Amino acid sequence: MKVAIFGASGLLGKELMREWTDDDLVGLNSRDADVRDAKQVQNAVDRSAPEWIVLAAAYTDVDGCETHRDLALAVNRNGAVNVAEAAKSVGARLLFLSSDYVFDGTKGSPYETGDARNPQSVYGRSKAEAEVRLLEILPQCCIARTSWLFGMGGKCFPDTILKLAATRPTLDVVNDQRGCPTYAVDLARAIVELCHKNASGIVHVTNSGDCTWFDFARAIIKGAKLATEVRPTSSQKMARPAPRPAYSVLSPASLHRYGIAMPSWEDALQRYLQQRLG
């Protein structure tokens, strides 16, 4: 099977390129094709002639999206439309990476794939609008929603916590936002399986279990055997430009229907720390 990956140089893209060993892969980054440019996207797809396209390219700076709204929509929504149109023109299947931020966080129990979208941030809106458009263009496309992504070779929460802990005796971390940390290696492996199983529709793909950012930070510090004290605080005290869902745990039911189970986030964190710290 021939596969083209948009966003191959990103945190997830790098893992997809490493983990996807049994198929013919073409990795595309922004120098190969800017997803905002429909002609560049079409040319890249025509050259690679893939059977599957994985769209992992995105503008993921959630706070940056608030101040650069037009850029966020141009990349995350319009760019996705460009890739979907190109996929349709060559008869390729498409897997699109989406986010827990399409939800408002008011539910209080794990979100199912059919729950109503109600994004509260520009980033969430850009992903939600992309989902709607893609399902119109390619009804058989696969939308893989994930959350709290971390991994090697890119900016992520564990990396930030470890760097801050190296210079601070205490860290204040919000304890009123709950979600599912997801390791890029495990997400990449699940995506490979989904494509091999010809997945379609919306699938929630995260490591199993859930926690708050405070819980996550405390586990990072403990796993790294550091002495830094982690203290719980509120989102109100740590105000950010973009609102975050208070609760964005994604139900694994849609993933389990494909016979795919993800390791726990604690197990994933342990493997990340082994790789990160050596």
Which residue carries 């990396």 as its tokens?
159
- Marked catalytic residue, from 59, 101, 123, 247: 123
Contact 116, 101 (CB under 8 A): no
* Helix segments in 140-232, DSSP class H: 157-165, 184-196, 213-223
What is the C-alpha separation between 118 and 210, in angstroms, rounded? 21
Cα separation of 120 and 105, whole Å?
9
Euclidean distance between CA atoms 220 and 68, whole angstroms: 31
Question: Max CA-CA distance within the chain?
Answer: 56
59 given a catalytic annotation: no
Distance set, CA 221 to CA 113, 140, 184, 203, 208 (Å): 33, 42, 20, 31, 20
Q: Give me the active site residues, please.
A: 123
